[in-house]
Amino acid sequence: MSRSDVTIVGGGAAGLSAALGLAQAGLSVHLLGAPTTIRDDGRSAALFQTSLDFLAGLGIGPALQDKAAALRAIRIVDLTGGLVRAPTTTFRALEIGQEAFGWNIANADILAVMMEAARQTPGLTLSDAQFRSFTAAGNGVILEREDGSRHESRLLIGADGQNSRTREAAGIAFRTKDYPQTALTCRLRHPGDHEDISTEFHTREGPFTFVPSGDGISALVWIMRPDKAESMLALPRERLAERITRQSSSFLGPVEIISAIGAVPMRKRVADRLVSGRVALIGEAAHAFPPIGAQGLNLGLKDVESLVRRVIAAHREGADLAAALPLYAQDRKLDMDMRSTGVDLMNSALIADFLPLDITRALALTALKQIAPLRQLAMRIGSWTPPFGQRRSA
């Protein structure tokens, strides 16, 4: 039977970055579910500077920076059609002394850069086999792949996304909530200049967002009712492009769709525990929720940073690697619960047709527009910059 210090299930961004971090520290790592081909599904992720700093520490900073588009400002436009309309508010990164709130990178580029680094990392073996189950065995676990073959390791990390089989096999329960929303995603070319501003139109069905993705190119995330998403998907691409142009009031001119079109049902799935025995969950296996405030992968990378740091410390002390897991859970549980509750509240407040909530949102945005210190604090919390300290350098 093959053996490694750690097995990671899932070759998404969370699993691959954890594999790089652990293998670079000298642990033997086996990764299951590595992608054989990387499909550009038109989706992208806005990564905060803290996330890019962490990825730079894995040696993939320059390769990612080459593919990244700066998000220097975020503009929020109220299209909820409520009786009380919030003012259009623009948050500029310069106001909190940052060059940009974050950097938008196509998911396919993130995975390609990580896979390239993973292939060149000694001690890291990549397999496209799927994980089926595991059993505890002494100071380790024996896991079984879909083809029936087995592998032994001291730790098992579930990075297998929101329908995590690892989470299920470890008996970790999760809270789930389905929203009446589907996110339509694609990349668009347009004649207008986005000026590195991410523009979020808040509609009663959810945000309709243009995120800068290069010169004259934006990534679209259009959250809408599932039945409407189905009818949009049935349209020829040119007609859908016309609908997008109309919905955006043509603020960047007529758009052209230049990627595959994705449709993702919106749901929250949050694990009750991050750790069970020798198993730890990271990324969307631990927490999945709608893409509001770019909390998804950024939060996943915070999990990875903490888990990798804790496991490396146990390895260097010659301790049982499992000793690292409760410390990891302690580091991450509160932040994960707070961020997922925050996203749920923001999303629910947006889609609720309820006057007091409209008034609260309008008042909050008016206050943020007019009171600079309040706006700066909100920006720092949103992008994880310490409110009263220096941000880490790139």
Cβ 290 to ligand FAD, closest distance in Å? 8
* 158 is an interface residue for ligand FAD by CB under 6 A: no
Is the distance from CB of 120 to CB of 67 less than 8 angstroms? no
CA–CA gap between residue 45 and residue 13 (Å, rounded):
11
* 165 is an interface residue for ligand FAD by CB under 6 A: yes
Cβ 183 to ligand FAD, closest distance in Å? 4
Contacts of 373 (CB under 8 A, 6+ apart): none
Select from 215, 216, 186, 210 the least CA-distant residue to 198. 210
The half-sphere exposure of 107 on its side-chain side, counting CA atoms within 13 A, is 23
* 305 is an interface residue for ligand FAD by CB under 6 A: no
Sole window of 83-91, 160-168, 370-378, 380-388 interacting with ligand FAD (rule: CB under 6 A): 160-168
* 283 is an interface residue for ligand FAD by CB under 6 A: yes
Is the distance from CB of 53 to CB of 394 less than 8 angstroms? yes
Q: Footprint of ligand FAD on residues 91-110 (CB under 6 A)?
A: none
CA–CA gap between residue 10 and residue 5 (Å, rounded):
16
b/e burial code for range 88-98 (CB count within 10 A of at least 16 → b): ebebbbeebeb
Sole window of 12-20, 186-194, 196-204, 252-260 interacting with ligand FAD (rule: CB under 6 A): 12-20
CA–CA gap between residue 283 and residue 268 (Å, rounded):
13
Q: Footprint of ligand FAD on residues 207-246 (CB under 6 A)?
A: 221
Cβ 356 to ligand FAD, closest distance in Å? 29
Task: Quote the tokens at residue 101.
Answer: 């709130």
Residues 124-153 as x/- pattern, contact with ligand FAD by CB under 6 A: ------xx----------------------
* 160 is an interface residue for ligand FAD by CB under 6 A: yes
Among 45, 124, 157, 232, binds ligand FAD (CB under 6 A): 45
* 307 is an interface residue for ligand FAD by CB under 6 A: no
Phi-psi label, residue 344: left if phi above 0, alpha if psi -120 to 50, beta otherwise: alpha
Sole window of 191-199, 283-291, 304-312, 336-344 interacting with ligand FAD (rule: CB under 6 A): 283-291
Sole window of 38-46, 268-276, 316-324, 344-352 interacting with ligand FAD (rule: CB under 6 A): 38-46
Task: Quote the tokens at residue 165.
Answer: 């089989």
CA–CA gap between residue 368 and residue 78 (Å, rounded):
14
Is the distance from CB of 303 to CB of 12 less than 8 angstroms? no
Among 5, 78, 109, 284, binds ligand FAD (CB under 6 A): 284
248 DSSP 8-state letter: T
Name the residues that contact ligand FAD, by CB under 6 A.
9-15, 32-33, 43, 45-46, 130-131, 159-161, 165, 183, 185, 221, 264, 283-284, 291, 294, 296-298, 300
